[in-house]
Amino acid sequence: MAQLIINSLLLVLILLFIQLFSSVNAVYDITDFGAKPDGETDSSKSLLSAWDAACGSPEAATVHVPDGFFLVGQITFSGPCKSSKITIQIDGTIVAPSNYANLAKAGEWMAFEKVEGVSVYGGTIDGRGKSLWACKAGGGNCPDGATSLAFHGSKDIMISGLSSINSEMFHIVIDGCQGVTVQGVKITAPGNSPNTDGIHVEGSTDVTITGAGIKTGDDCISIGPGTTNLWIEQVTCGPGHGISIGSLGKDYDEEGVENVTVKTTVFTGTQNGLRIKTWGKPSEGFVKGVVFEHATMQNVQNPIIIDQNYCPGQSGCPDQNSGVKISQVTYSDIQGSSASQVAMNFDCSASNPCNGIELQDIKLTYGDLQAKSSCNHADGTASGFVVPPSCL
Ligand SMILES: *[C@@H]1O[C@H](CO)[C@@H](O)[C@H](O)[C@H]1NC(C)=O
pLDDT tens profile 155-208: 999 999 999 999 999 999 999 999 999 999 999 999 999 999 999 999 999 999
pLDDT at residue number 104? 79
The pLDDT confidence band at residue 9, using thresholds 50, 70 and 90, is low
pLDDT at residue number 314? 83
Q: What is the mean pLDDT of residues 278-288?
A: 97
Q: Point out the ligand 1 atom lying closest to the alpha carbon of residue 231.
A: 5
* C-alpha 289: how far from chain center: 20
Residue among 208, 158, 157, 215 at smallest CA distance from 186: 215
| Contact between residue 196 and residue 220 where contact means Cβ atoms under 8 Å apart | no
Ligand 1 pocket test, candidate residues 178, 229, 258, 292, most atoms within 8 A of CB? 229
Q: What is the mean pLDDT of residues 32-47?
A: 98
Q: What residue type is 326 in one-letter code?
A: I
- 62-107: pLDDT as tens digits: 999 999 999 999 999 999 999 999 999 999 999 999 999 888 778 9
| Contact between residue 345 and residue 307 where contact means Cβ atoms under 8 Å apart | yes
Q: Is the pLDDT of residue 11 over 90?
A: no
- 104-125: pLDDT as tens digits: 778 999 999 999 999 999 999 9
Q: How many CB atoms lie within 10 A of CB 146?
A: 26
Tell how far the Cα of 387 is from the centroid of ligand 1, in angstroms: 30
- 317-376: pLDDT as tens digits: 988 999 999 999 999 999 999 999 999 999 999 999 999 999 999 999 999 999 999 999
Q: Is the pLDDT of residue 4 over 60?
A: no
Q: Point out the ligand 1 atom lying closest to the alpha carbon of residue 208.
A: 5
pLDDT at residue number 23? 53
> 250-264: b or e for each residue (b if 16 or more CB lie within 10 Å)?
beeebbbbbbbbbbe
Q: Is the pLDDT of residue 20 over 70?
A: no
Q: Whose CA is nearest to atom 3 of ligand 1?
A: 229
Helices (H) and strands (E) in the chain, counts: 4, 29
Tell how far the Cα of 37 is from the centroid of ligand 1, in angstroms: 43
Q: Point out the ligand 1 atom lying closest to the alpha carbon of residue 259.
A: 1
pLDDT at residue number 105? 78
Residues of the chain with pLDDT > 90, as a percent, come to 89
Task: Give the pocket of ligand 1 (CB within 6 Å).
Answer: 229-231, 259, 261
Q: Which helix (H) or strand (E) holds 64?
A: strand 60-65
Tell how far the Cα of 246 is from the centroid of ligand 1, in angstroms: 20
Q: What residue type is 99 in one-letter code?
A: N
Q: What is the mean pLDDT of residues 30-56?
A: 98
| 325 bridge partner residues | 286
Positive or negative: CA dihedral 36, 37, 42, 47: positive
Q: Is 7 helix (H, G, I), strand (E, B) or coil?
A: helix
pLDDT at residue number 2? 60
Residue among 304, 219, 216, 202 at smallest CA distance from 256: 202
Positive or negative: CA dihedral 29, 35, 36, 42: negative
Q: Is 5 helix (H, G, I), strand (E, B) or coil?
A: helix
pLDDT at residue number 102? 87
Q: Whose CA is nearest to atom 8 of ligand 1?
A: 229
Q: Is the pLDDT of residue 17 over 60?
A: no
In whole numbers, what is the pLDDT of the chain averaged over residues?
Answer: 94
Is 241 part of the annotated catalytic residue set?
Answer: yes
| 69 bridge partner residues | 38, 93
Residue among 65, 84, 112 at smallest CA distance from 25: 84
| Residue 252 CB contacts under 8 Å (≥ 6 apart), including other chains | 282, 283, 284, 323
- Of 241, 307, 347, 377, the catalytic one is 241
pLDDT at residue number 140? 82
| 381 bridge partner residues | 358
